[in-house]
Amino acid sequence: MYMRQYLLLISLFLAYFPANAQGTEFSLGINLCGGEFSENNLPGNLNEHYAYPTAEEVDYFYRKGFKTVTIPFRWERVQKNLGGVPARA
């Protein structure tokens, strides 16, 4: 009997206080196109087979309120051979 009352008391106590995940404000983000295109030309040439957003494009979205930017890429553009040396940036 006491166990049921104890569990009920704990349940009410926990339900009274709302959960607060992180307590930080919401961050708006955007996904931009990147080096994921032209999979038939690997590793390919930058600005010929694929392109990444310019600093001006990223800055434009930052000024619009997008504080998080995701830019996809193909791993084959970073490392031509599996286990090999990564390409220079």
- What share of the chain in percent tops pLDDT 70? 80
pLDDT at 23 (0 to 100): 61
Answer yes or no: are the C-beta atoms of 70 and 35 closer than 8 Å: no
**How many residues in total does the chain contain?**
89
Q: Domain spans of the chain? A: 20-89
pLDDT of 89 above 60: no
pLDDT of 24 above 80: no
pLDDT at 12 (0 to 100): 65
pTM (2 d.p.): 0.56
What is the maximal distance between C-alpha atoms in the chain? 75
pLDDT at 3 (0 to 100): 73
Answer yes or no: are the C-beta atoms of 66 and 60 closer than 8 Å: no
- pLDDT tens digit string along 5-19? 767 777 766 666 666
